[in-house]
Amino acid sequence: MTLLTTWPESGPETVLRRTADPAEIAEALKPLGVRYEQWPVREDVPSDAGSEAVFAAYGPEIDRLNAEEGFTTVDVLGLHPGDDPEYPVKAKAAREKFLQEHTHDDDDEVRFFVSGSGIFYLHVNGEVHAVFCEKGDLLGVPRGTTHWFDMGTKPSFTAIRFFHEEDGWIGTFTGSAIAARFPDYDTVAAGYATDKAGA
């Protein structure tokens, strides 16, 4: 349900690791302090479900994670093409914001994908780890970890967000243009889809 690709920070010409095995992904991310796990997928939850339906479906998992990690705020963020005439503007603005390399000084970035997909790029110890997350995947990026997120040119996802701080998402941007040197969501997703079709 996910894919991990690791490159040296110098660029994507050399692939250091590429795996779609969940156990291997969790093991590779663990030394970075990154939490990766898979939750049961609730197929009866619509891809564009609102907060109430999502909380009802994933209540036990949310309660467990809150008990383990002490989160104080949990919300649901969704972005889907549809009848909203503002979608193109909203999608472009959201993508541009998260696509810039940044850190979070006061909180972890923890997301569970209810539907859709997105890629977290972790820039750690001279390497870039691209974690392609799909529905059922939970990823926890520790505070202080340099990273960026790409949802693609036509984002379509619903995610549960977990926060220790009530202020929610606050990013400290590095000003680096590193994200432009690596394959974006659309490129990675197209290659991943081809791989799955041939499997």
Burial of 160 by CB count in 10 Å (0-12 exposed, 13-18 middle, 19+ buried)? buried
Detail the residues annotated as belonging to a binding site for Fe(2+): 102, 104, 109, 147
Distance between CA 72 and CA 165 in Å, rounded? Answer: 7
Detail the residues annotated as belonging to a binding site: 102, 104, 109, 147
Q: Where are the beta strands (DSSP E) in 9-156?
A: 17-19, 35-38, 73-79, 102-103, 109-124, 127-134, 137-141, 147-150
Question: For residue 64, what is the DSSP state?
Answer: H
Detail the residues annotated as belonging to a binding site for Ni(2+): 102, 104, 109, 147
